[in-house]
Structure 1
Amino acid sequence: MKTFGKRLLQLGLAVCATSLSVSAFAQSSFTTTYRGGTTSLCGSTYTVKGYEPSATGKYPVYVHIVGTGETYDGELAMTQVQAMANKGFVAATVEYSNGSFGSCSSIGTKARCIFNSGSSNSAIAKLCARSKADCSKGVVTGGLSQGSIISVLAKNYDSRVRASYGQGAGTNYSIYNLSSCMNNGGHTQAADRIRLVNGESDTFVGPTASNVRTANQAITGLSCGSSAYSCFRSNGSGWYIVRGSEVQDGSADHCYMMVGGCTTPSGIDSGFRTGSAAWQMNANQNWLKSFVTP
């Protein structure tokens, strides 16, 4: 986890206009702040950065949560945020105290600071207060690694969250056992409103496809047998295990969507960015979109 963060921070992953997909909606960028942190006081100031359609109207909200050590406004996060704005969302990535991982309690506290609908200082409150946001149309979430855990836990703190998408989501990370909050029934998010995509060689969730499958089944409550790589309900919820043969660099690790993975990332996998397969960005964002009101 530390190597992943260090390499992403070293690269900076700055977003340039040419690296982002062509807009379906003309867009405007925005930046705001909220009060977050690692205690129930949520006493520190963090940044929220995003895009929203320029056209007059009210839109649902997408919240993206990055992984441990990942730059909150790096290329991977901002590419996914702008792609959701393209689909008609007020979409943002949220900075938080992601320098370290933690237990269900500590990660849950971070999630609460971000998604506490009862606090005017939370990130979700700041986003829902935007003039173009209408959170009654629905809030959907997505994230990588620690961010995927927070994505799933988001509905614990805001009932308006309708669906959650996780990349690199598991129940056991090194010394941390998250089964009490991540197993189906341990979180408020309904099993049929979760979609997970994990690499078959994910060191943190796996490291084998069998271990990844077990984690996927535990979180979503869905099993398709001991050899399945794809397991979806009729509404698209469920899980997918990415094979090494599907990704550009041949290694479906924790950061399967990055060429070079977590340790030596050199850019976003071209298929993830532009393809339509079940593990790629567009398919999963379209799934999220299916749960909101246009």
Structure 2
Amino acid sequence: YRINNAFKGYAHRESYLEEAVKTLKVEDCPDYKRRKGQKGSVVVISGTDTKVEKYGTTENIVYKTSVYRAMTLEKYNELKNNNNLPPPDYIEYLTRDTHQTYSKRLKKTFKHSNLRYGKYNECPPGDKYFLNSSKDAKGPTYLMYVSDNSTGSDIEVKEELKDLMDKKRDGIAIHQYDRKASVGCMTTCSGSKTDNSDANSLYNEIPDLFLHNSMEKAKMIDNNGVVHDMSIERRFVRIIIEERDVIEKQWEDIKYGTTKWFGKE
């Protein structure tokens, strides 16, 4: 659809695809069998699989982020419990430290909560989140937002985290820059603009984030003039954010907060 939204030659291309599936014996592929019938994607941000990555002169501890396409959360848990997970379809590395203290763009100083998952501190861990596109999250600034619902960009306080969260969190995104440009978000340590960063690459590697938006009004007119509905229903992207090991230190200036949390190598 991105290449040819007029669907010229669609039936012909479809027949080639069907023939390729047979010739390459796709249905015999173990990975196909694991994913057969699955709709949706799962993204997993590790809490322990880390490396050090530089952005300018700043060293950042970044966490392995794995994308599994054509997989529901239930299937992911089943495969993981059975030690039968396929390799990830895509891997990115994201920061989780949140050290921004002043925004030139907003002309604002950030006062961090003294709670680990409180305002402007790191995203609370969880295994039932949704990763939403900006359109599904009702139009915030960045491409992707973490939420505990499928149509927003906010996280309610969970009972098990009530002592670590002071209020509902909102606006937790995945975007460019490094931890110094993060007030609770996760960053790729790259790029100065959204359309020139690894965040864009990650977004494009999760088609379920945007395909339904592109295809919601898609139609095909065949050679007989018959109009076919080509729209694709929304397929949810679930994101698992694992708890990470941290080192606790104090902010150099009390106006920014009390404790701040550093990731471990």
Q: Using structure 2 for the length normalisation, give the TM-score.
A: 0.21
More helix per residue: 1
Q: Which has the larger radius of gyration?
A: 2
More strand per residue: 2
Q: Using structure 1 for the length normalisation, give the TM-score.
A: 0.20
Q: Which structure has the higher relative contact order (CA within 8 Å, separation 6+)? A: 2
